[in-house]
Amino acid sequence: AQKVTQAQTEISVVEKEDVTLDCVYETRDTTYYLFWYKQPPSGELVFLIRRNSFDEQNEISGRYSWNFQKSTSSFNFTITASQVVDSAVYFCALSEAMKTSYDKVIFGPGTSLSVIP
Amino acid sequence: NAGVMQNPRHLVRRRGQEARLRCSPMKGHSHVYWYRQLPEEGLKFMVYLQKENIIDESGMPKERFSAEFPKEGPSILRIQQVVRGDSAAYFCASSRPGQAYNSPLHFGNGTRLTVT
């Protein structure tokens, strides 16, 4: 069965600190997609990144970076020099769309990040 | 270039009433997904529909919940005889056929259902 674990329920950091959000996933399939979504206090879901299982290259986008390690089934997300606007709940997610051709996405429980000014 | 549109944004129902949530997919999209987010939890898949067809409803509660995506008009998630446990945020996403390979799901802003 597929599962996404985000062990950190809540994290608080002071502005400008770096913070890493952990994500561990389980799947029996060799082909899958991994995602991160952000849910700010206003409630909408903001797509951040999708990575397919064939591509283990780390990715950097501005202050955001992602570390995909297939050997440990982890897809961690780091925010560098955090800002108050980064305060949100962050969801890691898994999809077997490569197998099913549609996005039945399994979400983790989320990590609530508070950035304190 | 409108995204996925959901309405209403907030819905309050008394126990026993019916709730109807609407989702208008992005232009050109014929596939719709519904997800539910219970308080303090992540999103859970409910149902995947194509025009006039339910493809996967493995996440739908067996009773009181139904979904449709007619040939014309928005997709509707219907909850009959609501109970307090139905209070949640309901998110919709849409896609084109085969799009799962090319781009990720983008979600609407959700409908927050409160059952009093």
Taking a C-beta distance cutoff of 8 angstroms, is the pair B39, B88 a contact?
Answer: yes
Q: Which residues of chain A from 24 to 43 reach within 8 Å of chain B, CB to CB?
A: 33, 35, 37, 43
**Residue A71 confidence (pLDDT) above 70:** yes
- The verdict on a CB contact (< 8 Å) between B100 and A102 is yes
3-state secondary structure of A72: helix
Tell me what pLDDT residue B96 has: 77
Virtual torsion, Cα A98, B60, B9, A37, nearest 10 deg: -30
**Residue A79 confidence (pLDDT) above 70:** yes
* Residue A57: pLDDT band with limits 50, 70, 90: confident
- The verdict on a CB contact (< 8 Å) between B89 and A43 is yes
- Chain A residues lying within 8 Å of B35, measured CB to CB: 105, 107
Tell me what pLDDT residue A30 has: 84
Using a CB–CB cutoff of 8 Å, tell me whether A108 touches chain B: yes
Using a CB–CB cutoff of 8 Å, tell me whether B95 touches chain A: yes
Tell me what pLDDT residue B2 has: 67
> Average pLDDT in the B64-71 region?
95
* A105, β-bridge pairs: A95
Tokens of residue A16, six digits: 């400008």
